[in-house]
Chain A
Amino acid sequence: MGMSKLHTFSHGIHPDEYKEFTEHLPVERMPFSDEYVLPLGQHIGAPSKAIVKKGDKVLRGQKIAESTGFVSVALHAPVDGTVTAVDLVENTSGQMVPGIRIKTDAYSTQQFSQPLPPDPTTLSMKEFLASVQESGLVGLGGAAFPAHVKFAIPEGKTCRYIILNGCECEPFLTSDHRTMVEQPDAIVDGIGILQHFIKAEKIFIGIEANKPDAIEILGRKIADSTLPVEVIPLKVKYPQGAEKMLITAVLNKEVPSGKLPLDVESLVSNIGTIAAISHWFRKGMPLIERIVTVTGTALNRPANLLVPIGTPIREVLDYCGGLKPGASRILLGGPMMGQVQKTIHTPVVKGTSGLLALTDKEVKPMEEYSCIRCGKCIDACPMHLNPSLLGLLAKNDLWDEMEENYVFDCFECGSCSFVCPSGIPLVQSFRVAKGLLREKKAKEKAG
């Protein structure tokens, strides 16, 4: 493309991409399954509260649970059907949590017919945020942070830059890629709606250079609009899609430790989330389905699927031809930060960007050797921490020393464990340390 020098952040890794399985496959709609499982806490923040009970008939897109505070969103029925239980259901972390089960109405056409929300241009900022909250929208990149909370600019802060995240730096995943290629109009429309309220000086779309078709299409679409948007091609590197890394790549600024993007006057949002804003305001479609990359070397038919939220993953795997022999891990999300599943009865939730079936050939289970202080983890850590030192401290249960060495700045991207030639579970031990330290702090506070 004759690009001079691509923007990026310092450090990071470049794992094999494995995107060739699905990057050229158009999104197909997954048929409705018999049952849907909807945990009430699919987002960061307070879980929603069920407003239906066992036996209730629900319609596709109908609200079935309401938000319970500002950092909380609504939840909607993904199908026409009957509530079979408001009880404990399995979530993607393997816990039993409150949730709703819906049995699909076998005779329904599943025609979507919900009323449109008000035209956004007639809304105040407050009404806009309330409307987004009502749509159940969360960040679709994986963290599932309520979108309206991110869009609310607190008193005294300014937002000069909106940065849209089209990096999709996790190997295997192509759902954002397909969204950009197939829904560029919805993205541009979503940008327009958001910009109407935020009024940023400049809007950047960061896309890694391994998606030239997305860069080209979005570049062409924004050239036709009057919005102050620019597509920024980025060097292919993990974890560029992490909020802080993307800000550094695009703006060449660092977000101070413990601060938010708004502290450097920016707002970062996943590209799929932006498209979903348009679907809500133009079609009245709340967040009841999302694009999921279903892939992995252990899957018979990799695909990009439009999956109703709540579909049990067994149904999705089935639809994709089932597993090949040798499957050793089933994951939700990408292979670097995703969650392993211990059963196939857990559902696709709002934050599910991918469903992966991997074999040990990619996972490469490692025999653990001593740290040889090669420094590869130090060169990989995007937060410029010293994982080798932290790993040594973790091994000796020196939790407080880990905190002094900035373990809380680690956002668990896993680059250190990926590169470690001695197969030391570095990030895994940091996760444990952070949990223990948080627990200790909570105890100290209480007692």
Chain B
Amino acid sequence: MKHKEKIITVSTSPFLHSTDSTPRIMWEVVLSLIPMVLAAYYFFGLGALSVLIASLAGCLVTEYAFSISQPRWTSLKDGSAVITGLLLALCLPPGFPLWMAFLGGVVAIGVGKLIWGGLGQNVFNPALLGRAFLQASFPTAITTWSAPNGQHFSFRGTNLAMPFFQGENIDAVSTATPLAQMKFEHTSTPIIDLLLGSTGGSLGETSALLFLLAGIYLIWRKIINWRIPLSILLTVAVFSGMFFLINPEQYPSPLFMIFSGGLLLGTIYMATDLVTSPVTPKGLWIYGLGIGFFVVLIRIWGGLPEGVMYAILLMNAATPLINRFTKIKPYGYK
């Protein structure tokens, strides 16, 4: 029978809905990342922008090709793959070969998200998983940092390396990140440089100030839970502060710890990933405390200068357990 015009809809209560929607949340996060994208371009030029586009392309192509949901483009519409692509790029070096960035995007979405069953099902933050894959596969390329050179329209030779090659680092001046300088040479970078971003590092390891502002915005919009950044930063400050008080010559100051490397990027955008963080307030504190603890532990005693990625991935893995142990007692069971 052909249906006549629909007049009333029969469904069950509730019949009202808040204005919140998942795509809206996701796209707002994307919006909040635009200043960082502009900063990456400002400091590292077109090369950085091309890394970003390559990573995004890897994520979006994979999401579209392997999403089981129908119609396929609804999974692109929710914006989560765009966030993953942007975040992955923000933790890559500006001179990173584009084909590697693309591959990183493919792995981030494919192995980091879709293989688990898609959005909401994954245990690990997809961008960080992609980053971990790249770190394991291309340890040299991912730790070849170039200094901001102020040339907005030049590529770096390594960007355009052919697939399966790394390319020669011929035209860019290689530099060490502030954290590597700290770890291997025991020299500290002035906090003001860390805040404004004129230091070597990955696309997003530049201006701490931008991340602080974005964090405040996202907390104010209730998109991220304030407990996560607060607990991570407090733990890092207290834990690293203890070492600093014991021996200020050897150990970095808490401020340096907070503003250097990818800590703010990880704290505000990756640790707060709704999907991979605990759900209860108590669980969030435990989670943030764990991340802060591992960051300091790896940075001070680990073989790597930076520990944010592994710290978050470790606590992602602990999240189901934290959720289990921090169950809230329902009303009427006290």
Contacts and interface: CB of A to CB of B under 8 A. Distances in A.
Interface string B19-38: 11111110000000000000
A428 B21 contact: no
A414 interface: yes
Nearest to A415: B14
A418 B14 contact: yes
A386 B280 CA distance: 10
Given A372-B120, A375-B279, A366 B21 contact: yes
A372 B113 CA distance: 12
Contacts of B13: 331, 333, 335-340, 412, 414, 427
B331 A244 contact: yes
B334 A363 contact: no
B331 A382 contact: yes
Contacts, number: 151
Residue among B14, B18, B121 with max Cβ neighbours from chain A (10 Å): B14
Contacts of A257: 330-333
Interface in B27-74: 74
Given A378-B280, A417-B14, A370 B121 contact: yes
B167 interface: no
A201 to B, nearest CB: 23
Residue among B22, B80, B280 with max Cβ neighbours from chain A (10 Å): B22
Contact of A254 (B10, B24, B331): B331
Given A329-B9, A372-B22, A414 B330 contact: no
Contacts of A369: 21-23, 74, 78, 119
A356 B13 CA distance: 13
B255 to A, nearest CB: 31
A299 B266 CA distance: 51
A121 to B, nearest CB: 38
A339 B11 CA distance: 9
Interface in B62-101: 74, 78, 80
Nearest to A419: B18
B67 to A, nearest CB: 11
B327 interface: yes
Contacts of B327: 386
Contacts of A365: 9
B332 A409 contact: yes
A431 B14 CA distance: 12
A367 B80 CA distance: 16
B274 A256 contact: no
Interface string A413-426: 01101111111000
Given A15-B18, A370-B119, A409 B279 contact: no
A385 B329 CA distance: 8
A337 B14 CA distance: 6
Nearest to A378: B279
A383 B9 contact: no
Contacts of B332: 244, 254-259, 383, 409
B16 interface: yes
Nearest to B14: A414
Given A340-B12, A372-B119, A383-B330, A418 B18 contact: yes
Contact of B16 (A327, A335, A378, A427): A335
Given A254-B334, A378-B328, A330 B8 contact: yes
Contact of A364 (B7, B11, B17): B17
A427 B14 contact: yes
B15 interface: yes
A409 B13 CA distance: 18
B269 to A, nearest CB: 15
Interface in B174-230: 225
B275 interface: yes
B140 to A, nearest CB: 36
A417 B328 CA distance: 20
A49 interface: no
B241 interface: no
Residue among B13, B22, B78, B330 with max Cβ neighbours from chain A (10 Å): B13
B16 A418 contact: yes
Interface string A152-182: 0000000000000000000100000000000
Contacts of A246: none
B305 interface: no
A68 to B, nearest CB: 29
B14 A335 contact: yes
A275 B51 CA distance: 72
B157 interface: no
Interface in A4-33: 13, 15-16
A257 B334 CA distance: 9
Interface string A335-368: 1111111100000000000001010001111110
Given A340-B9, A421-B24, A329 B15 contact: yes
A255 B275 CA distance: 33
Residue among B17, B23, B279, B331 with max Cβ neighbours from chain A (10 Å): B331
Contact of B15 (A255, A335, A409): A335
Given A366-B21, A386-B328, A388-B279, A374 B15 contact: no
Contacts of A362: 15-16
A362 B14 CA distance: 11
A329 B17 CA distance: 14
Contacts of A151: none
Given A330-B8, A369-B119, A370-B121, A358 B15 contact: yes
Given A338-B13, A423-B17, 13 more contacts: A15-B16, A248-B331, A258-B332, A335-B15, A364-B17, A365-B9, A375-B280, A378-B328, A385-B330, A409-B332, A412-B13, A417-B14, A428-B12
10 contacts: A257-B330, A257-B332, A329-B8, A362-B16, A369-B74, A370-B119, A378-B279, A419-B20, A421-B22, A423-B17
Which 7 residue pairs across A and B have the least CB separation, nearest first?
A414-B14, A257-B332, A370-B120, A421-B20, A364-B17, A375-B279, A369-B22
Interface of A: 13, 15-16, 171, 244, 248, 254-259, 327-331, 333, 335-342, 356, 358, 362-367, 369-376, 378, 382-386, 388, 406, 409, 412, 414-415, 417-423, 427-428, 431
